[in-house]
Amino acid sequence: MTISDMPDFTVTDVVRLDGGDRTTVFASFEHGVPCLIHFGASLPANDDLAALAIATIPNVSAGQIDPFQPLTLCPLAITGWQGHPGMILQGVEGREYLANPKLMQVDADGAHSVRFTLYDRGNTEGVKLVIAARLDPGTSILHLQQTLTLPEGMSCSWLAAPAVPAPTGMGRII
């Protein structure tokens, strides 16, 4: 693998939500689907969140050919994710369609909410994915929702809840 074959992990968008005693940080690499990079104790206001985003990408180990891909809120096979995809679509002909959503718009609603709007390959007439996040300042609970809008003739056989990293010892997720 040459340097030109390596995935580009340039941080293009970072959004921070603060509420209660928590900070939530989302980052997008090269305008892709955002990732949850921090959900925990409040971070200092001047933290370098782009550096934090880069630090969340696992290292490539000895003998490993492919670099790890960041876990996005909607993981996709087309971006190199090898686990279960966040959505499975069928095109007009009924064959599997691999959408490649690009982050086109970020709408913050105060310090507690944000909405990410993504379009397949940047085409506003195609597949539209909207991911909304709200950090409840009273309970410090993070609410996530994603909505998919498809052009006529396409279908969706699977749309998962937004994916977030969780520690292996976590007892429950609400």
pLDDT tens digits, residue range 53-66? 998 887 776 666 66
- Taking the complete model, does pTM exceed 0.85, yes or no? yes
Question: Are the C-beta atoms of 130 and 115 separated by less than 8 Å?
Answer: yes
Q: Is the pLDDT of residue 133 over 80?
A: yes
Burial of 90 (0-12, 13-18, 19+ CB in 10 A): middle
In angstroms, the CA 101 to CA 85 distance is 13
Q: Which two tokens stand for residue 78?
A: 């087309």
Could you tell me which residues are beta bridge partners of residue 36? 26
* Helical H segments across the chain, by residue range: 49-55
Pairing of strands 22-29, 128-135: unpaired
pLDDT band at 1 (very low <50, low <70, confident <90, very high): very low
Q: Which domains does the chain have, with CATH numbers?
A: 3-159 (2.70.98.60)
Question: Are the C-beta atoms of 73 and 85 separated by less than 8 Å?
Answer: no
In 3-state terms, what secondary structure has residue 148? strand
Residue with tokens 């689907």: 33
Encode pLDDT of 35-44 as tens digits: 999 999 999 9
For the beta carbon of residue 124, count every other beta carbon within 10 angstroms: 10
Q: Is the pLDDT of residue 170 over 90?
A: no
Name the most confidently modeled range: 6-10, 61-65, 163-167.
163-167
In 3-state terms, what secondary structure has residue 38? strand
Q: Is the pLDDT of residue 67 over 80?
A: no
* Strand arrangement, sheet containing 35-41: 11-19, 22-29, 35-41
Predicted local distance difference test score (pLDDT) of residue 4: 46
pLDDT band at 70 (very low <50, low <70, confident <90, very high): confident
List CB contacts of 10: < 8 A, sequence separation 6 or more: 29, 30
Q: Report the amino acid identity of residue 42.
A: S
